[in-house]
Amino acid sequence: MAMSHYRNFAIGLLAVTAICSGCKRSNPTSVTANVQTAQTSAADKTIETEIVATAPFAGMVAATGKVLVPEDRTAVIGPVNQGRIVKLYAGQGTRVRRGQRLAELESADIDQAEADYLKASADAENAKRSAAAEIKLAQQTYDRTKALYEKTVVPGKNMQSAEHDLEVAKANAENSLASTRVALTAARRHLLILGMTDSAIDALGKKPGLAATFALNSPIDGVVVERNATIGATVGTDASVFKIIDISRVWIDANVFEKDLQRVRVGQSVKVTTTAFPGTTFAGRVIFVNSVVDPDSRTVKVRTEVPNPDSRLKPDMFANVEIITDVASNAISVPQSAVLEDGGKSFVFVFVPEDKTYKKLQVQTGIKTGDRVEIVDGLKAGDRVVIKGNYLLLQQSKPE
């Protein structure tokens, strides 16, 4: 039986030699059920090995997704009052800062708003002066009555009346001041909503006349991606004049298969690649895992956030996402092609340099990433594992 097994193995190697364009054959030294020879030139050209070493190893889940603009980094800007555009300061592609003026609109409403503010400001100042005067008078009357009462010149009821008048004056003053403050705050807020800045509002009292224009300002830093405006056009409160996005950070919604969901959680690191920038990897993290499974694709939406300071990642761009799910700080890994399944168990072939043979070893696999798999048990650093040609060795290791 041993001679027959040896003869079959030699025939197999001769066939491989023919494929390898005339490689010379040399006889093997020994063959057993678990050991194969390494001394033929055909085997040397057919079989490839890799020396095992320990290194950090991370598992990952691969998915595809699309680049999105974060919802809190998008602004659609339009007027709160109908107006006619008289000046434009930004166009499509303009990079703007928060508070930067985008356009000026002419409207009669701004005249009324400024007039309302100036009136509220004057009312507040008058109320303040009147309250101070009323309290001062009531306080003087109270002090004079108190002095006469202490000298028994006036009866106690006069003292009580003076005290009552003082408290009423204080209450009236507080009520008047509060009322005018509310009106002034509302008028000021109206101007802010119309696009006027705090400094411009403060300077209204010094202006020689009222202006009939108000500004549209950017509420965020970003880039103007839409401008639906021309000078002279009248726009209403439902108009979208500018759209601004900030893509210094972007979202990528990846579709993860439900079978991989148990390995994914918020906070995990991600690596993102795109066809637009081959060889470039963008780093990010998982910020949200959806609770709903898509019934058609059997996937779950996993959202990642990725810094994008140079704006290379564009909205709606397709991306490949690798979610780092498991990390081993010191692990042994081999190419997945090195691991074979036989009889429901995992095996690898290892080259034994002492007698120049290949030995079949059972191994226990762990996490997988890309084309590599972690070997939890069965190999040690320094082992020389077969990564190509192991199917031939597996066939030759089986008894006839």
What is the rounded distance in angstroms from the CA atom of residue 139 to the CA atom of residue 162? Answer: 8
Q: What is the pLDDT of residue 45?
A: 57
For β-strands 372-377 and 357-369, DSSP reports them as antiparallel
- Write b or e for each residue in 255-264: b if 16 or more Cβ atoms lie within 10 A of its Cβ, otherwise e: bbeeebbeeb
Residues 369, 323 contacting (CB under 8 angstroms): no
What is the rounded distance in angstroms from the CA atom of residue 378 to the CA atom of residue 320? Answer: 34
For β-strands 74-77 and 242-245, DSSP reports them as antiparallel
Residue 24 DSSP symbol? P
Structure tokens at 54: 């320990």
What is the rounded distance in angstroms from the CA atom of residue 14 to the CA atom of residue 186? Answer: 95
Residues 186, 123 contacting (CB under 8 angstroms): no
Q: What is the pLDDT of residue 31?
A: 31
Q: Find the distance separating the first CA and the last CA of the chain, reported in whole Å.
A: 9
pLDDT in tens, the chain (400 residues): 433 443 343 334 333 333 333 333 233 323 333 333 333 444 455 888 999 888 877 778 889 999 999 999 999 999 888 889 999 999 999 999 999 999 998 887 787 888 888 899 999 989 899 989 989 999 999 899 988 888 888 888 888 898 898 899 899 888 988 999 999 999 999 888 776 778 888 888 776 665 567 888 999 999 999 999 899 999 988 899 999 999 999 999 999 999 888 889 999 999 999 999 999 999 999 999 999 999 999 999 999 999 999 999 999 999 999 998 877 667 888 998 999 988 889 999 999 988 888 999 999 988 777 788 888 899 988 999 999 988 888 887 776 5
DSSP codes of every residue in 100-160: -EEEEEE-HHHHHHHHHHHHHHHHHHHHHHHHHHHHHHHHHHHHHHHHHHHTTSS-HHHHH
What is the rounded distance in angstroms from the CA atom of residue 41 to the CA atom of residue 165? Answer: 118
What are the residues whose beta carbons fall under 8 Å from the beta carbon of 322, sequence distance 6 or more? 60, 61, 62, 270, 271, 272, 273
Structure tokens at 14: 């001769």
Q: Which one, of 206, 224, 296, 227, lies nearest residue 255 by Cα? A: 296
What are the residues whose beta carbons fall under 8 Å from the beta carbon of 85, sequence distance 6 or more? 103, 104, 105, 106, 229, 230, 231, 232, 233, 234, 235, 241
Look up the pTM and report it. 0.58
**Residues of the chain by 3-state class (helix, strand, coil), percent to 5:** 35, 35, 30
Q: What is the pLDDT of residue 44?
A: 53
Structure tokens at 55: 């290194």
